[in-house]
């Protein structure tokens, strides 16, 4: 008996895996247990909006790596988005952000270091889960920048990263130029 796995089945499996990967991000440890994480699974037209914006940024800012990353996202059927709201954790004697306290940080328009730390831990958990499932993936700040410019995770999310997922014979993220 022989059978053929259709690309549609692989894409469906990739979308189901994306849900598990988002769960890994959600359950990642967070400072003071405060969950500021936003997640989204993107494909189709929404993904094209993001890659179009990545290409626009590449041209506008003269940064060709945004174009390269847009090509990688194009080659990935699913793009996961992870973002964090900017909200200080009000920890005493912290200063990780470079300011004396949270009040000074907020007055200067800064970002609580724990917002970015927690996002990094969540996305790292997501990338690890994707790797556990043997899915090709790469954390991309370029996709996050495009998402923020488009406001796709809402106005309260001001820090974002993307994680494209691919299931092919060769990772689209390997021989990047």
| Dist CA 78 CA 74 (whole Å) | 9
Reported confidence tier of residue 8, pLDDT bands at 50, 70, 90: low
Residue length of the chain: 177
* Backbone φ/ψ region at 166: left (φ over 0), alpha (ψ -120 to 50), beta: beta
The confidence score (pLDDT) of residue 4 equals 58
Q: Of 64, 77, 25, nearest to 142 (Cα)?
A: 64
| Dist CA 34 CA 169 (whole Å) | 39
Mean pLDDT computed over 138-157: 97
Reported confidence tier of residue 7, pLDDT bands at 50, 70, 90: low
- Number of Cβ atoms within 10 Å of the Cβ of 112: 25
Domains, the chain, with CATH or none: 7-166 (3.40.109.10)
Q: Are 37 and 30 in contact (CB under 8 A)?
A: yes
């Amino acid at each position: 008996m022989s059978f053929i796995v259709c690309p549609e089945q692989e894409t469906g499996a990739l979308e189901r895996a994306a849900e598990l990967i988002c769960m890994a991000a959600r359950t990642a440890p967070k400072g003071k247990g405060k969950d500021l994480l936003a997640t989204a699974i993107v494909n189709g037209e929404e993904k094209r909006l993001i890659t179009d914006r990545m290409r626009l940024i590449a041209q506008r800012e003269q940064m060709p790596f945004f174009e390269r990353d847009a090509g990688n996202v194009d080659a990935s059927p699913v793009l996961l988005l992870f973002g964090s709201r900017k909200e200080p954790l009000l920890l005493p004697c912290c200063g990780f952000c470079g300011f004396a306290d949270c009040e000074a940080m907020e007055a200067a328009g800064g970002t609580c270091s724990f917002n970015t730390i927690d996002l990094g831990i969540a996305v790292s958990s997501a990338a690890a889960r994707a790797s556990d499932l043997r899915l090709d993936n790469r954390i991309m700040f370029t996709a996050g920048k495009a998402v923020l410019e488009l406001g796709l995770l809402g106005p309260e999310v001001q820090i974002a990263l993307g994680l494209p997922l691919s299931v092919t014979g060769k990772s689209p993220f390997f021989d990047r130029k």
